[in-house]
């Protein structure tokens, strides 16, 4: 369990820094076409890794049905709605909405998986979300007015939360890391179609032959998207969607650190306060505090 939590912490750091990488990339390429090619590259990378590591196999017909549903929600719907939403809303609003993902996943887990959430862990989820809000509104812009883009971002978050529930119910014999490869590879074609309809310019991808943009793209596609999602989906299968999703709150912390390191943005006092709440929220919401308290109680009884 501890090893998985350490890996999740590592993934959240990469995903947080990936936001800075994406900011650089979307300033040069249209977001949906870029997303499609990034996910396609990540899918191919995962399938190659699966082959090298020896757990590659073709899915059964029943597994294809579940993989198809997960792909539609986690890749096609989530990434498409997010890419469109980010062009119509502020980063502040998007940060707050996406920060609600652990809460939505927790509710879905209780409804569909009959997970039991203690009051202490629910409090941890609340603290983490409060930290997201504080760090998001600490910037100059604050919270702007509600827009159509907010609706798109919210839907993208809900679709992703649904996919987490589906991943946890996939056939136990099917490796979740291999699922990641099929999910990304197939899903990229859905996004390519949307990109062609909305943006109609695939030739812009030639800009990625620039060594600087190329390296940033490979970091985003292979390290953040391919390896990151392999580890994340593996964690969902082994520790559950609720426990795994609480770590998403750390995205905000590392995104702010990455923005300061790579984009030259300032970290304000409000950011530090919000980040502390996020870390405490993850510590409580992940069940770590519950585990320590139970162990302490057992030692006293012994």
Q: What is the pLDDT of residues 201-215, one digit of tens each?
A: 888 889 898 989 999
How far apart, in whole angstroms, are the C-alpha atoms of residue 51 and residue 39? 18
Can you give the pLDDT at residue 36?
92
| pLDDT of residue 170 exceeding 60 | yes
Decide which of 267 and 13 is more confident.
13
Decide which of 300 and 30 is more confident.
30
Sign of CA dihedral 175, 177, 181, 184: positive
| pLDDT of residue 48 exceeding 90 | yes
Can you give the pLDDT at residue 181?
94
| pLDDT of residue 24 exceeding 80 | yes
- Which of 61-70, 139-148, 169-178 is least confident? 139-148
Decide which of 271 and 6 is more confident.
6
| pLDDT of residue 142 exceeding 90 | no
Mean pLDDT value of segment 182-207: 89
Q: What proportion of the chain, given as a percentage, has pLDDT over 90?
A: 20
Mean pLDDT for the chain overall: 81
Token pair of 232, please? 């994340």
Can you give the pLDDT at residue 189?
92
Token pair of 281, please? 């929220």
How far apart, in whole angstroms, are the C-alpha atoms of residue 289 and residue 287? 6
| pLDDT of residue 166 exceeding 60 | yes
| pLDDT of residue 104 exceeding 90 | no
Q: pLDDT class for 139, splitting at 50, 70, 90?
A: low
Name the 3-class secondary structure at 31.
Answer: helix
Decide which of 257 and 228 is more confident.
228
| pLDDT of residue 154 exceeding 90 | no
| pLDDT of residue 32 exceeding 80 | yes
| pLDDT of residue 98 exceeding 60 | yes
| pLDDT of residue 153 exceeding 70 | yes
| pLDDT of residue 145 exceeding 80 | no
> How much is the pTM?
0.77
Q: pLDDT class for 52, splitting at 50, 70, 90?
A: very high
3-state helix, strand, coil in the chain (%, to 5): 80, 0, 20
> CB neighbours of 256 closer than 8 A, spacing ≥ 6?
16, 135, 265, 267, 271, 275
CA separation, residue 98 to residues 194, 230, 248 (Å) = 22, 20, 9
Name the 3-class secondary structure at 11.
Answer: helix
- Which of 16-20, 67-71, 98-102, 201-205 is least confident? 98-102
| pLDDT of residue 66 exceeding 60 | yes
How far apart, in whole angstroms, are the C-alpha atoms of residue 143 and residue 90? 8
């Amino acid at each position: 369990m501890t090893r998985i939590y350490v890996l999740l912490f590592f993934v959240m750091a990469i995903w947080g820094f990936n936001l800075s990488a994406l900011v650089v990339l979307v300033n040069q390429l249209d977001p949906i076409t870029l997303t499609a090619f990034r996910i396609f590259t990540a899918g191919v990378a995962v399938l190659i890794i699966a082959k090298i590591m020896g757990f590659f196999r073709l899915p059964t017909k029943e597994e294809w049905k579940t993989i198809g549903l997960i792909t539609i929600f986690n890749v096609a719907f989530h990434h498409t709605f997010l890419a469109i939403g980010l062009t119509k809303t502020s980063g502040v609003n998007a940060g707050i909405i996406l920060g609600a993902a652990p809460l939505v996943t927790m509710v879905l887990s209780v409804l569909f998986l009959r997970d039991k959430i203690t009051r202490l862990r629910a409090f941890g989820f609340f603290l983490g979300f409060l930290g997201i809000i504080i760090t998001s509104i600490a910037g100059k812009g604050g919270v702007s007015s509600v827009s159509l883009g907010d609706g798109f971002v919210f839907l993208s978050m809900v679709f992703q939360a649904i996919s987490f529930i589906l991943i946890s119910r996939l056939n136990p014999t099917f490796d979740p890391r291999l699922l990641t490869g099929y999910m990304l590879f197939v899903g990229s074609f859905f996004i390519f179609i949307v990109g062609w309809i909305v943006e109609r310019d695939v030739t812009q991808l030639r800009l990625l032959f620039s060594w600087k943009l190329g390296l940033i793209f490979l970091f985003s596609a292979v390290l953040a998207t391919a390896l990151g999602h392999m580890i994340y989906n593996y964690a969902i299968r082994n520790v559950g969607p609720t426990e795994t999703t609480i770590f998403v709150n750390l995205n905000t912390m590392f995104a702010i650190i990455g923005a300061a390191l790579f984009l030259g943005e300032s970290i304000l006092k409000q950011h530090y306060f919000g980040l502390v709440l996020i870390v405490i929220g993850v510590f409580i919401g992940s069940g770590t505090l519950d585990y320590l308290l139970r162990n302490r109680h057992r030692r006293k009884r012994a």
